[in-house]
Amino acid sequence: TGAGRGIGAAAARGLSEAGFAVALLDVDGEAASARADEIGGKALGLRCDVSDEASVRSAMAAIVGEWGRIDLLHNNAAVFFGLAGGNDGLLETLDLDTWRRTLDVNLTGTFLCTKYAMPQLIQTGGSVVCTASVAGALTGSTVSAYAASKGGLAGFVRSLALNYGPKGVRANAVCPGAVLTDMSQHIREDPGLRQRVMDTIPVGRIATAEDVANVVVFLASPAAAYLNGVLVPVEGGVVLA
């Protein structure tokens, strides 16, 4: 999900190169279709609003109709209203609509997609990979709604691992720090902020979408067959600094 751009698009490309047929879901259906056309082969672009149950149910049915199975779900769709928007942080300035929208997409959307993919994943012995974040999942964060959603996502992944591991379905998460995508436009456009962010990262650079996608592909592969309920930091060592 969230495959029209950024980490989701990079993961779709990586998974396709690894031999998966990939369905790219995004609330921007045109972007999803464009990325699918770029990938070529067995790639399908679909419009899906992960916060809308009917939309999720329809998308999962379309995937099964196209290929007859689901082996992997990458829950990646997310919204972030912090820093640039200025309304996700202190409770005095965080409005209820922003709080609800953040949790609707980042957390409830993950629940809905997993709920409707799970019957297929049980049949195929598949896996779930979620894009969480160091914010909320592994460290503290000042962007409260986003951190709450990603912290909740970490707990959800662990619950999936316990509940569905015995049914043959693994669940893991990648936890990126700063990544150069559309969501981090405020970092790209502010050289001073970008340098301050890089100064906090031991490897000395900000992650690319491909850095995160590579770990998603690994977690989806047979090489990760014994990993279940793991939150993998993809942040260049920030949590150690």
Low-confidence ranges of the chain (pLDDT < 50): 84-86
CATH number (domain holding residue 143): 3.40.50.720
User: CA-based angle 171:172:176, to the nearest 5?
Assistant: 150
Assess if residue 59 is contained within a domain.
no
Q: Which two tokens stand for residue 35?
A: 């990325």
Assess if residue 139 is contained within a domain.
yes
Assess if residue 137 is contained within a domain.
yes
Q: pLDDT tens digits for 96-139? A: 999 999 999 999 999 999 999 999 999 999 999 999 999 877 77
Assess contact for 2 and 208: CB atoms under 8 A: no
Assess if residue 129 is contained within a domain.
yes
Query: Can you give the pLDDT at residue 186?
Result: 73
Query: Can you give the pLDDT at residue 88?
Result: 53
Of 200, 196, 207, the C-alpha closest to 239 is 200
| Domain span holding position 127 | 72-240
Burial class (CB in 10 A: 0-12, 13-18, 19+), 9: buried
Assess if residue 223 is contained within a domain.
yes
Assess if residue 213 is contained within a domain.
yes
Assess if residue 51 is contained within a domain.
no
Catalytic position from the list 116, 146, 164, 226: 146
Is 146 an active-site residue?
A: yes
Strand 170-176 with 231-234, pairing: parallel
Query: Can you give the pLDDT at residue 180?
Result: 87
Query: Can you give the pLDDT at residue 105?
Result: 98
Assess if residue 52 is contained within a domain.
no
Domain count, the chain: 1
